[in-house]
Amino acid sequence: MDLKLVKNSLEKQNEEDDKENGNQSTLESLPHRFFEPFIMQGIKLDILEPGRLICSITVPPRLVSKDENSMHYGAIATLVDLVGASVVYTMGASASGVSVEINVSYYDTAYVGEKERREKGIFRPTYHYW
């Protein structure tokens, strides 16, 4: 393994270095707010009540880890964050704010094509205005 190559890719000096080395970011070419629809596409809202959401999703290949045939842990955490933020709106809030800390415990594996159903709820709603 070439450690210098790894170091250089992490410590990019400027855009010109990227272009010269063929490392130009493709992020600039993506549409605005690309990431949320990419993760959320295919989610179904099963139950909607004040302070409670139950959603399901059939695991698509785009959210699968390279090494396994299971849903990527980062994709799961992102879904938890995005769906969890949506619960705040069911309580009448006009904005959900920003996640400062997320703690996700992984109990089971979700495989491609499997339907996963999870509940998100607010047990002790607290709102902080900065």
Q: Give mean pLDDT, residues 10-21.
A: 50
Q: Which amino acid is at 128?
A: H
Count, residues in the chain: 130
Count the alpha carbons within 13 Å of 76 in the hemisphere toward its beta carbon: 18
Q: How far is it, in rounded angstroms, from Cα 39 to Cα 76?
A: 9
Cα–Cα nearest to 68, from 56, 80, 79, 76: 76
Query: In this predicted model, what pLDDT tens digit does every residue of 87-96 receive, in sequence order?
Result: 777 777 777 6
pLDDT band at 129 (very low <50, low <70, confident <90, very high): very low
Please list the residue range(s) of the chain that carry CATH number 3.10.129.10: 37-121
pTM: 0.62
Query: In this structure, which amino acid lies at residue 12?
Result: K
Q: Please give the CATH architecture assigned to the domain spanning 37-121.
A: Roll (3.10)
* Model confidence pLDDT, tens digit, residues 34-90: 777 778 888 888 888 887 878 888 888 888 888 788 888 888 888 888 887 777 777
> Could you give the dihedral angle defined by the CA atoms of residues 27, 28, 31 and 32, in that order, rounded to the nearest 10 degrees?
100
